[in-house]
Amino acid sequence: MDSVKSTRDALSSALISPAAERNSAAILEVLRAHLPVQGRVLEIAAGSGQHAALFATALPGLDWTPSDPSAEARASIEAWRMKAGAANLRPAQAVDMLDDARWPSEPLDAIICINMIHISPWSAAQGLMRLAERSLIRPGGLLYLYGPYREAEVPLAPSNAAFDDSLKARDPAWGLRDRGEVETLARSHGLALTLRRAMPANNLSLIFRRV
């Protein structure tokens, strides 16, 4: 096998997400402050793989496994993994929040989910919380969510309202979730909200911990 050609072919599969380029540094700041120094991390809906490559490189004590149900996304994740060359970044897994038969069975210290629950049906968020309850078996196990939300006490930004409309036009099952409803769902699976942090472009970082 021509290893040079193989590497070039793999890198050509790398997708570039402008949103990931914009938000990576701000998300990493939060993760660095709250993730354990060592442990097993599963990233759900890892998309292009840019986040996985950056975060695994920046947090070398963490065993980082990205996942995505899309074969195209997994090819892109592999391309970014090869480019990063981080020993702690594992190959992408085909984990789907709508199919618990494809969920990992090993215990985890953290689950990371960026920009998923508003671009998927509510059943995906329900699956995510079930996975967190099953996999974050140690007290303090962390679930990190990032994205735009509706909040009863905060006026919805016009940009988020327009984004919500565009999502629902693409699929009526999609759309910005109410933060309070997400918190209630998490609580029903043994997870307590411990951090709400405003992020750039009217997004939020939410951290839930196993109780």
Q: Supply the pLDDT for residue 69.
A: 97
pLDDT confidence band for 8 (50 / 70 / 90): very low
pLDDT tens, residue by residue, 109-155: 999 999 999 999 999 999 999 999 999 999 999 999 999 999 999 99
pLDDT confidence band for 13 (50 / 70 / 90): confident
Average pLDDT, the chain: 93
Query: 95 is written with which tokens?
Result: 């984990």
Q: How many helices (H) and strands (E) does the chain have?
A: 7, 8
* Pair 129, 191: CB distance under 8 Å: yes
The CATH H-level superfamily of 1-210 is Vaccinia Virus protein VP39 (3.40.50.150)
Per-residue CA distances from 30 to 15, 27, 34, 104 (Å): 24, 5, 6, 25
Rounded distance between C-alpha atoms, residue 110 and residue 8, angstroms: 33
Percent of the chain with pLDDT over 70: 94
Rounded distance between C-alpha atoms, residue 178 and residue 10, angstroms: 39
Rounded distance between C-alpha atoms, residue 141 and residue 162, angstroms: 35
Average pLDDT, integer, range 174-180:
98
Rounded distance between C-alpha atoms, residue 153 and residue 29, angstroms: 26
* Pair 20, 51: CB distance under 8 Å: yes
Rounded distance between C-alpha atoms, residue 45 and residue 8, angstroms: 25
pLDDT tens, residue by residue, 86-117: 999 999 999 999 999 999 999 999 999 999 99
pLDDT tens, residue by residue, 184-198: 999 999 999 999 999
Rounded distance between C-alpha atoms, residue 129 and residue 186, angstroms: 6
Taking the domains of the chain in order of start, what are their residue ranges? 1-210
